[in-house]
Structure 1
Amino acid sequence: MTKPMTKSQLVATLAEEMDTDKKTANSVLDSLVEVITREVSAGGAVTLPGVGKIYCRERPERMVRNPATGQQIKKDADKAVMVTVAKALKDSVNA
């Protein structure tokens, strides 16, 4: 398994693909992250065509087990960020 692409590598690749400078590519990436964060935090969802859908899901109150002691603990309801990967991306990985 290879190491994940870092932000600076992603910015450099994005700048090359967009035929622009790294400062502009970094600004685009930061803006994209900000928009996604704002939308998902508000309970909405964002679909990135060809990549997938990012959304927030509410999880109910439930019982969990402490792996160190085996004790059952009641965990309050919370929210989790979920990502559903697009079929096109899955197909390209498995091709």
Structure 2
Amino acid sequence: MTKAELIEKIAKDADIPKTTAKAAFDSALDGIKNGLKKRNSKVTLVGFGTFKNVYRKTRMGRNPQTGEKIKIKGKSVVTFKPSKNLP
């Protein structure tokens, strides 16, 4: 399902114009993004799942083509753990 299809479904189910549904959907996404800006923060949507901002430490890796060791910089990444209720 694409973003446009999801917005269309929200508009149909809530019996509201697509522009209003798009504004509400974009606002929800912005809320999730803003909630994940800090390291080790999380956003939980009960019945859906939990988004978490975690920091991956700097580590040593290996270039698969040459076998040469390389240093992989640490960075923040967002993870998602689905709720038990999510099929």
Q: Which has the higher helix share?
A: 1
Work out the percentage of aligned pairs sharing the same amino acid: 35
- Give the Cα separation in 1 of the matches to 2:14 and 2:84: 25
- Which portions of structure 1, spanning 4 or more consecutive aligned residues, are displaced by more than 3 angstroms? none
1:46 maps to which residue?
43
The gaps in structure 1 that reach 5 residues or longer are none
Q: Give yes or no for the alignment of 1:24 onto 2:20.
A: yes
Q: What whole-Å deviation, never above 9, does each CA across 1:67-87 have from its counterpart, x for those lacking one?
A: 222221111221110001100
Q: Give yes or no for the alignment of 1:71 onto 2:68.
A: yes
The gaps in structure 2 that reach 5 residues or longer are none
Equivalenced residues, count: 86
Match of 1:85, as an amino acid? Answer: P
Match of 2:58, as an amino acid? Answer: E
- Give the Cα separation in 2 of the matches to 1:34 and 1:13: 20
Match of 1:70, as an amino acid? Answer: G
Q: Which stretch of the first structure deviates more once superposed, 75-84 or 62-71? A: 62-71
